[in-house]
Amino acid sequence: MKVIDHIRQAKDTLVSFEVLPPLKGKGIGALYNHLDPLMEHQPAFINVTYHRSEHVFKKRPDGGFEKVVVRKRPGTESICAAILNKYNVDTVPHLICGGFSVNETEDALINLHYLGIDNVLVLRGDAAKNEMSFEPEPGGHKYASDLLKQVVDLNDGVYLEEDLRDSHKTGFCIGVAGYPEKHFEAPNMDTDLQYLKRKVDLGADYIVTQMFFDNQKFHDFVARCREMGIMVPIIPGLKPIYSKKQLTILPKTFHIDLPADLANAVHKCKTDLDVEKVGAEWLLMQSRELKKSGVPVLHYYTLGRPQLIADVVGQI
Ligand code: FAD
Protein backbone atom coordinates (compact mmCIF):
# COMPACT_ATOMS: atom_id res chain seq x y z
CA MET A 1 0.00 0.00 0.00
CA LYS A 2 1.11 3.54 -0.70
CA VAL A 3 2.33 5.82 2.09
CA ILE A 4 -0.15 8.48 0.99
CA ASP A 5 -3.04 5.99 1.34
CA HIS A 6 -1.87 5.06 4.84
CA ILE A 7 -1.98 8.76 5.70
CA ARG A 8 -5.40 9.32 4.11
CA GLN A 9 -6.95 6.34 5.89
CA ALA A 10 -5.37 6.96 9.31
CA LYS A 11 -7.55 8.02 12.23
CA ASP A 12 -4.56 8.97 14.37
CA THR A 13 -0.87 9.83 14.00
CA LEU A 14 1.01 6.91 12.42
CA VAL A 15 4.51 5.68 13.21
CA SER A 16 7.23 4.74 10.71
CA PHE A 17 10.89 3.79 10.96
CA GLU A 18 14.00 4.22 8.86
CA VAL A 19 16.58 1.42 8.86
CA LEU A 20 19.90 0.91 7.10
CA PRO A 21 20.82 -2.19 5.13
CA PRO A 22 23.20 -4.33 7.22
CA LEU A 23 26.92 -3.85 6.73
CA LYS A 24 28.25 -6.26 4.13
CA GLY A 25 29.11 -9.56 5.85
CA LYS A 26 26.62 -9.15 8.73
CA GLY A 27 23.73 -11.03 7.12
CA ILE A 28 20.09 -10.00 7.12
CA GLY A 29 19.55 -11.51 10.58
CA ALA A 30 21.26 -8.43 12.05
CA LEU A 31 18.59 -6.26 10.47
CA TYR A 32 15.74 -8.47 11.70
CA ASN A 33 17.17 -8.28 15.26
CA HIS A 34 17.19 -4.50 14.87
CA LEU A 35 13.62 -4.42 13.58
CA ASP A 36 11.98 -6.93 15.95
CA PRO A 37 11.46 -4.58 18.94
CA LEU A 38 10.22 -1.83 16.59
CA MET A 39 7.69 -4.02 14.79
CA GLU A 40 5.69 -4.42 18.02
CA HIS A 41 4.52 -0.84 17.43
CA GLN A 42 2.92 -1.64 14.08
CA PRO A 43 4.63 0.92 11.86
CA ALA A 44 2.70 1.97 8.78
CA PHE A 45 5.87 1.63 6.70
CA ILE A 46 9.62 1.08 6.94
CA ASN A 47 12.13 3.14 4.98
CA VAL A 48 15.39 1.54 3.86
CA THR A 49 18.27 3.88 3.08
CA TYR A 50 20.50 3.69 0.01
CA HIS A 51 24.30 3.73 0.24
CA ARG A 52 26.39 4.34 -2.81
CA SER A 53 29.83 2.87 -3.42
CA GLU A 54 32.86 4.62 -1.98
CA HIS A 55 36.48 4.80 -3.06
CA VAL A 56 38.82 3.69 -0.29
CA PHE A 57 42.58 3.21 -0.15
CA LYS A 58 43.62 -0.36 0.73
CA LYS A 59 47.13 -1.24 1.83
CA ARG A 60 48.93 -3.59 -0.56
CA PRO A 61 51.40 -6.29 0.65
CA ASP A 62 54.26 -4.16 -0.79
CA GLY A 63 53.31 -1.28 1.54
CA GLY A 64 51.77 0.88 -1.19
CA PHE A 65 48.11 1.80 -1.44
CA GLU A 66 45.51 0.83 -3.97
CA LYS A 67 42.29 2.72 -4.67
CA VAL A 68 39.34 0.31 -4.57
CA VAL A 69 35.59 0.70 -4.85
CA VAL A 70 33.67 -0.61 -1.84
CA ARG A 71 29.94 -0.77 -1.23
CA LYS A 72 29.51 -1.18 2.50
CA ARG A 73 25.72 -1.53 2.68
CA PRO A 74 24.34 -3.07 -0.51
CA GLY A 75 20.89 -4.54 -1.03
CA THR A 76 18.30 -1.76 -0.46
CA GLU A 77 15.79 -3.09 -3.02
CA SER A 78 15.96 -6.73 -1.94
CA ILE A 79 15.90 -5.79 1.75
CA CYS A 80 12.65 -3.89 1.13
CA ALA A 81 11.17 -7.01 -0.45
CA ALA A 82 12.47 -9.20 2.40
CA ILE A 83 10.94 -6.92 5.08
CA LEU A 84 7.65 -6.77 3.21
CA ASN A 85 7.64 -10.56 2.98
CA LYS A 86 8.68 -11.27 6.59
CA TYR A 87 6.65 -8.67 8.47
CA ASN A 88 3.90 -7.88 5.95
CA VAL A 89 4.61 -4.16 6.29
CA ASP A 90 4.99 -1.64 3.47
CA THR A 91 8.49 -0.55 2.67
CA VAL A 92 9.96 2.60 1.15
CA PRO A 93 13.31 2.17 -0.61
CA HIS A 94 15.42 5.31 -0.87
CA LEU A 95 16.46 5.99 -4.43
CA ILE A 96 19.28 8.41 -5.15
CA CYS A 97 20.70 10.16 -8.23
CA GLY A 98 24.35 9.60 -7.24
CA GLY A 99 26.03 6.64 -8.93
CA PHE A 100 23.10 5.89 -11.26
CA SER A 101 22.67 6.50 -14.98
CA VAL A 102 19.07 7.06 -16.05
CA ASN A 103 19.01 3.53 -17.54
CA GLU A 104 20.16 2.00 -14.27
CA THR A 105 17.49 4.02 -12.46
CA GLU A 106 14.83 2.71 -14.79
CA ASP A 107 16.00 -0.87 -14.20
CA ALA A 108 15.95 -0.33 -10.43
CA LEU A 109 12.40 1.06 -10.61
CA ILE A 110 11.21 -1.85 -12.76
CA ASN A 111 12.75 -4.31 -10.26
CA LEU A 112 11.01 -2.56 -7.35
CA HIS A 113 7.72 -2.64 -9.20
CA TYR A 114 8.09 -6.38 -9.91
CA LEU A 115 8.86 -6.94 -6.22
CA GLY A 116 5.50 -5.39 -5.27
CA ILE A 117 6.92 -2.22 -3.74
CA ASP A 118 4.59 0.77 -4.13
CA ASN A 119 6.74 3.52 -2.67
CA VAL A 120 10.03 5.34 -3.23
CA LEU A 121 11.74 8.20 -1.40
CA VAL A 122 13.46 10.16 -4.16
CA LEU A 123 16.73 11.88 -3.19
CA ARG A 124 19.77 13.38 -4.79
CA GLY A 125 22.33 11.79 -2.45
CA ASP A 126 25.40 13.51 -1.06
CA ALA A 127 28.77 14.02 -2.70
CA ALA A 128 30.85 10.85 -2.96
CA LYS A 129 33.48 10.68 -0.18
CA ASN A 130 36.31 11.52 -2.60
CA GLU A 131 34.48 14.51 -4.15
CA MET A 132 34.10 18.08 -2.91
CA SER A 133 30.57 18.50 -4.25
CA PHE A 134 27.87 16.30 -5.70
CA GLU A 135 28.66 15.13 -9.24
CA PRO A 136 26.01 13.23 -11.17
CA GLU A 137 26.94 10.03 -12.94
CA PRO A 138 27.52 10.55 -16.69
CA GLY A 139 23.99 10.33 -18.06
CA GLY A 140 22.56 10.54 -14.53
CA HIS A 141 20.37 13.02 -12.68
CA LYS A 142 21.70 16.19 -11.06
CA TYR A 143 18.80 16.95 -8.71
CA ALA A 144 16.13 14.94 -6.93
CA SER A 145 13.53 16.76 -9.07
CA ASP A 146 15.06 15.23 -12.24
CA LEU A 147 14.89 11.73 -10.73
CA LEU A 148 11.35 12.42 -9.56
CA LYS A 149 10.36 13.33 -13.10
CA GLN A 150 11.63 9.93 -14.28
CA VAL A 151 9.49 8.14 -11.65
CA VAL A 152 6.45 10.23 -12.62
CA ASP A 153 7.07 9.36 -16.28
CA LEU A 154 7.21 5.66 -15.46
CA ASN A 155 3.96 6.01 -13.49
CA ASP A 156 2.52 7.37 -16.76
CA GLY A 157 3.95 4.44 -18.74
CA VAL A 158 6.70 6.55 -20.32
CA TYR A 159 9.92 4.52 -20.45
CA LEU A 160 13.30 5.64 -21.78
CA GLU A 161 12.79 3.62 -24.96
CA GLU A 162 10.34 5.94 -26.68
CA ASP A 163 9.05 3.34 -29.13
CA LEU A 164 7.52 1.08 -26.45
CA ARG A 165 3.78 0.78 -27.13
CA ASP A 166 0.98 0.21 -24.56
CA SER A 167 3.60 0.15 -21.86
CA HIS A 168 2.68 -0.75 -18.30
CA LYS A 169 2.25 2.12 -15.84
CA THR A 170 3.99 1.74 -12.48
CA GLY A 171 2.17 3.27 -9.53
CA PHE A 172 4.84 4.55 -7.19
CA CYS A 173 3.92 6.86 -4.34
CA ILE A 174 6.75 9.38 -4.23
CA GLY A 175 8.26 10.98 -1.14
CA VAL A 176 10.90 13.72 -1.13
CA ALA A 177 13.20 15.27 1.48
CA GLY A 178 12.66 18.64 3.16
CA TYR A 179 14.93 20.56 5.52
CA PRO A 180 13.43 22.56 8.43
CA GLU A 181 16.89 24.09 8.98
CA LYS A 182 17.60 24.52 5.22
CA HIS A 183 19.64 22.23 2.99
CA PHE A 184 23.28 23.15 3.60
CA GLU A 185 24.00 24.00 -0.04
CA ALA A 186 21.01 26.29 -0.52
CA PRO A 187 21.86 30.00 -0.40
CA ASN A 188 18.79 30.75 1.75
CA MET A 189 15.58 29.18 3.00
CA ASP A 190 13.37 30.78 0.35
CA THR A 191 15.43 29.34 -2.51
CA ASP A 192 15.47 25.93 -0.86
CA LEU A 193 11.68 26.04 -0.48
CA GLN A 194 11.25 27.06 -4.14
CA TYR A 195 13.07 23.87 -5.13
CA LEU A 196 11.03 21.86 -2.65
CA LYS A 197 7.87 23.30 -4.20
CA ARG A 198 9.18 22.28 -7.61
CA LYS A 199 9.45 18.66 -6.42
CA VAL A 200 5.88 18.80 -5.14
CA ASP A 201 4.58 20.48 -8.30
CA LEU A 202 6.25 17.74 -10.36
CA GLY A 203 4.33 15.06 -8.46
CA ALA A 204 5.78 14.33 -5.01
CA ASP A 205 3.04 12.96 -2.75
CA TYR A 206 4.58 13.91 0.61
CA ILE A 207 7.69 15.32 2.30
CA VAL A 208 9.84 13.72 5.02
CA THR A 209 12.08 16.07 6.93
CA GLN A 210 15.64 15.93 7.97
CA MET A 211 15.97 15.32 11.72
CA PHE A 212 15.49 18.31 14.04
CA PHE A 213 15.59 18.68 17.81
CA ASP A 214 13.57 21.88 18.19
CA ASN A 215 9.92 21.36 17.24
CA GLN A 216 9.42 25.08 16.65
CA LYS A 217 11.74 24.79 13.63
CA PHE A 218 9.47 22.10 12.20
CA HIS A 219 6.31 24.14 12.83
CA ASP A 220 7.89 27.22 11.21
CA PHE A 221 8.96 25.12 8.23
CA VAL A 222 5.44 23.71 7.77
CA ALA A 223 3.98 27.23 8.02
CA ARG A 224 6.36 28.55 5.35
CA CYS A 225 5.63 25.59 3.08
CA ARG A 226 1.89 26.20 3.38
CA GLU A 227 2.36 29.94 2.65
CA MET A 228 4.15 28.95 -0.56
CA GLY A 229 1.37 26.59 -1.58
CA ILE A 230 3.12 23.32 -0.65
CA MET A 231 0.07 21.45 0.57
CA VAL A 232 1.19 17.77 0.70
CA PRO A 233 1.61 15.97 4.06
CA ILE A 234 4.87 16.82 5.85
CA ILE A 235 6.30 14.03 7.99
CA PRO A 236 8.73 14.99 10.79
CA GLY A 237 11.95 12.95 11.01
CA LEU A 238 13.15 12.26 14.58
CA LYS A 239 16.32 10.84 16.05
CA PRO A 240 17.40 10.27 19.67
CA ILE A 241 20.65 11.46 21.22
CA TYR A 242 22.43 8.61 22.98
CA SER A 243 26.10 9.63 23.14
CA LYS A 244 28.06 12.80 23.87
CA LYS A 245 29.85 12.48 20.53
CA GLN A 246 26.57 13.20 18.73
CA LEU A 247 26.68 16.79 20.03
CA THR A 248 29.38 17.48 17.45
CA ILE A 249 28.75 14.73 14.88
CA LEU A 250 25.10 15.53 14.20
CA PRO A 251 25.54 19.26 13.49
CA LYS A 252 28.62 18.52 11.36
CA THR A 253 27.02 15.71 9.35
CA PHE A 254 23.45 16.90 9.04
CA HIS A 255 23.86 20.70 9.29
CA ILE A 256 21.38 21.03 12.14
CA ASP A 257 21.38 22.81 15.52
CA LEU A 258 20.97 21.18 18.89
CA PRO A 259 19.02 23.33 21.38
CA ALA A 260 21.07 24.68 24.30
CA ASP A 261 18.85 22.94 26.90
CA LEU A 262 19.46 19.56 25.28
CA ALA A 263 23.20 20.12 24.75
CA ASN A 264 23.66 21.35 28.36
CA ALA A 265 21.75 18.36 29.77
CA VAL A 266 23.91 15.95 27.73
CA HIS A 267 27.12 17.73 28.80
CA LYS A 268 26.21 17.23 32.46
CA CYS A 269 25.77 13.45 32.03
CA LYS A 270 28.38 11.25 33.70
CA THR A 271 27.74 7.99 31.84
CA ASP A 272 26.42 6.90 28.43
CA LEU A 273 23.36 5.52 30.18
CA ASP A 274 22.63 8.99 31.57
CA VAL A 275 22.91 10.41 28.03
CA GLU A 276 20.46 7.79 26.77
CA LYS A 277 17.97 8.81 29.47
CA VAL A 278 18.25 12.49 28.51
CA GLY A 279 17.93 11.58 24.80
CA ALA A 280 14.88 9.37 25.41
CA GLU A 281 13.13 12.07 27.47
CA TRP A 282 13.80 14.67 24.77
CA LEU A 283 12.53 12.37 22.03
CA LEU A 284 9.40 11.59 24.05
CA MET A 285 8.78 15.31 24.62
CA GLN A 286 9.22 16.06 20.90
CA SER A 287 7.04 13.13 19.83
CA ARG A 288 4.18 13.98 22.21
CA GLU A 289 4.11 17.62 21.15
CA LEU A 290 4.21 16.76 17.43
CA LYS A 291 1.44 14.20 17.81
CA LYS A 292 -0.67 16.77 19.69
CA SER A 293 -0.08 19.26 16.87
CA GLY A 294 -1.59 16.74 14.42
CA VAL A 295 1.37 15.52 12.34
CA PRO A 296 0.37 12.65 10.02
CA VAL A 297 3.28 10.35 10.91
CA LEU A 298 6.14 10.27 13.42
CA HIS A 299 9.13 8.98 11.43
CA TYR A 300 12.08 7.71 13.47
CA TYR A 301 15.68 7.33 12.31
CA THR A 302 16.52 4.14 14.17
CA LEU A 303 20.26 3.71 13.52
CA GLY A 304 22.00 3.07 16.83
CA ARG A 305 19.30 2.54 19.42
CA PRO A 306 16.18 0.69 18.19
CA GLN A 307 15.16 -0.37 21.72
CA LEU A 308 15.32 3.22 22.98
CA ILE A 309 13.00 4.27 20.16
CA ALA A 310 10.68 1.30 20.74
CA ASP A 311 10.41 2.31 24.43
CA VAL A 312 9.61 5.94 23.52
CA VAL A 313 7.00 4.94 20.92
CA GLY A 314 5.44 2.64 23.52
CA GLN A 315 4.85 5.66 25.78
CA ILE A 316 3.25 7.93 23.20
P1 FAD B 1 17.67 18.11 -3.98
O2 FAD B 1 16.22 18.25 -3.75
O3 FAD B 1 18.14 17.82 -5.35
O4 FAD B 1 18.37 19.42 -3.43
C5 FAD B 1 19.80 19.48 -3.29
C6 FAD B 1 20.24 20.93 -3.24
O7 FAD B 1 20.08 21.52 -4.54
C8 FAD B 1 19.42 21.82 -2.30
O9 FAD B 1 20.30 22.79 -1.78
C10 FAD B 1 18.38 22.47 -3.20
O11 FAD B 1 17.96 23.72 -2.69
C12 FAD B 1 19.16 22.60 -4.50
N13 FAD B 1 18.37 22.44 -5.72
C14 FAD B 1 17.35 21.59 -5.94
N15 FAD B 1 16.93 21.68 -7.21
C16 FAD B 1 17.72 22.62 -7.82
C17 FAD B 1 17.80 23.16 -9.14
N18 FAD B 1 16.97 22.76 -10.09
N19 FAD B 1 18.75 24.11 -9.40
C20 FAD B 1 19.60 24.53 -8.42
N21 FAD B 1 19.55 24.05 -7.15
C22 FAD B 1 18.64 23.11 -6.86
N23 FAD B 1 21.26 10.26 1.18
C24 FAD B 1 21.65 9.06 0.69
O25 FAD B 1 22.70 8.97 0.06
N26 FAD B 1 20.92 7.92 0.94
C27 FAD B 1 19.77 7.94 1.64
O28 FAD B 1 19.14 6.90 1.83
C29 FAD B 1 19.31 9.20 2.14
N30 FAD B 1 18.14 9.30 2.84
C31 FAD B 1 17.68 10.53 3.23
C32 FAD B 1 16.42 10.62 3.86
C33 FAD B 1 15.94 11.87 4.28
C34 FAD B 1 14.58 11.96 4.92
C35 FAD B 1 16.72 13.04 4.09
C36 FAD B 1 16.22 14.37 4.57
C37 FAD B 1 17.97 12.95 3.49
C38 FAD B 1 18.45 11.71 3.03
N39 FAD B 1 19.69 11.58 2.37
C40 FAD B 1 20.10 10.36 1.90
C41 FAD B 1 20.56 12.74 2.23
C42 FAD B 1 20.29 13.52 0.92
O43 FAD B 1 20.66 12.72 -0.17
C44 FAD B 1 21.11 14.79 1.01
O45 FAD B 1 20.58 15.66 1.97
C46 FAD B 1 21.36 15.52 -0.32
O47 FAD B 1 22.42 16.44 -0.10
C48 FAD B 1 20.17 16.30 -0.87
O49 FAD B 1 19.18 15.48 -1.29
P50 FAD B 1 17.77 16.10 -1.81
O51 FAD B 1 16.99 14.97 -2.32
O52 FAD B 1 17.19 16.97 -0.78
O53 FAD B 1 18.31 16.98 -3.06
Does pLDDT of 162 surpass 90?
Answer: no
The band of 163, judged by pLDDT with boundaries at 50, 70 and 90, is confident
Rounded CA separation 180/250 (Å):
15
Q: What is the 3-state secondary structure (H, E, C) of the chain?
A: CCHHHHHHHCCCCEEEEEECCCCCCCCHHHHHHHHHHHHCCCCCEEEECCCCCEEEEEECCCCCEEEEEECCCCCHHHHHHHHHHHHCCEEEEEEECCCCCHHHHHHHHHHHHHCCCCEEEEECCCCCCCCCCCCCCCCCCCCHHHHHHHHHHHHCCCCCCCCCCCCCCCCCEEEEEECCCCCCCCCCHHHHHHHHHHHHHHCCCEEEEEECCCHHHHHHHHHHHHHCCCCCCEEEEECCCCCCCHHHHHHHHHCCCCCHHHHHHHHHCCCHHHHHHHHHHHHHHHHHHHHHHCCCEEEEECCCCHHHHHHHHHHC
What was the pLDDT predicted at 55?
81
Reported as a pLDDT band with limits 50, 70 and 90, residue 130 is confident
pLDDT, tens digit (0-9, with 9 covering 90-100), for 82-106: 999 999 999 999 999 999 999 999 9
The answer, yes or no, to whether any atom of ligand 1 lies below 6 A from the CB of 299, is no
Q: How far is the CA of 125 from the centre of ligand 1 (A)?
A: 6
Task: Please report which confidence band the pLDDT of residue 265 belongs to, taking 50, 70 and 90 as the band edges.
Answer: very high
Q: How far is the CA of 119 from the centre of ligand 1 (A)?
A: 18
| Atom number of ligand 1 nearest to Cα 237 | 34
Q: How far is 238 from 241, CA to CA, in rounded Å?
A: 10
Q: How confident is the model at residue 58 (pLDDT cuts 50, 70, 90)?
A: confident
Residues 275-306: tens digit of each pLDDT: 999 999 999 999 999 999 999 999 999 998 99
* pLDDT tier for residue 149 given thresholds of 50, 70 and 90: very high
160 closest CA partner among 152, 168, 150, 169 = 150
Q: Rg of the chain over CA atoms, in angstroms? A: 20
Taking domain 3-313, whether its CATH number is 3.20.20.220 is answered by: yes
8 Å CB contact between 215 and 258: no
Spatial distance between the Cα atoms of 283 and 266, rounded to a whole number of angstroms: 13
The answer to whether the beta carbons of residues 48 and 79 sit under 8 Å apart is yes
Q: What does the alpha-carbon distance between residue 188 and residue 183 come to, in Å, rounded to a whole number?
A: 9
Return the minimum-mean-pLDDT range out of 11-15, 20-24, 159-163, 173-177: 159-163
Q: What is the mean pLDDT of the chain?
A: 96
Q: Examine the pLDDT at 30 and tell me if it is beyond 90.
A: yes
Looking from the CA of residue 208, the nearest atom of ligand 1 is 34
Q: Within 10 Å of residue 148's Cβ, how many Cβ atoms? A: 25
Q: What is the pLDDT of residue 205?
A: 99
**Ligand 1 pocket residue status of 123, Cβ below 6 Å:** yes
The letter for the amino acid at 308 is L
pLDDT value at residue 129: 83
- Nearest atom (ligand 1) to Cα of 176: 51
* Contact 125 CB / ligand 1 (< 6 Å): yes
Q: Closest Cα to atom 25, ligand 1: which residue?
A: 125
Residue 232 has pLDDT above 90, yes or no: yes
Chain centroid to Cα 20, Å, comes to 10
- Cβ of 145 closer than 6 Å to ligand 1, yes or no, is yes
pTM value is 0.97
Question: Is 206 close to ligand 1, i.e. is its CB under 6 Å away?
Answer: no
195 pocket-lining for ligand 1 (C-beta < 6 Å): yes
pLDDT (mean) for 106-131: 95
- Nearest alpha carbon, ligand 1 atom 11: 192
pLDDT at 194: 98
Ligand 1 mean position to 123 CA, how many Å? 5
32 lines ligand 1 (CB under 6 A): no
pLDDT score, position 165 = 85
Ligand 1 atom nearest the C-alpha of 179 is 36
- Segment 3-12 shows an average pLDDT of 98
Res 131: pLDDT: 87
For 293, other C-beta atoms within 10 Å of its C-beta total 13
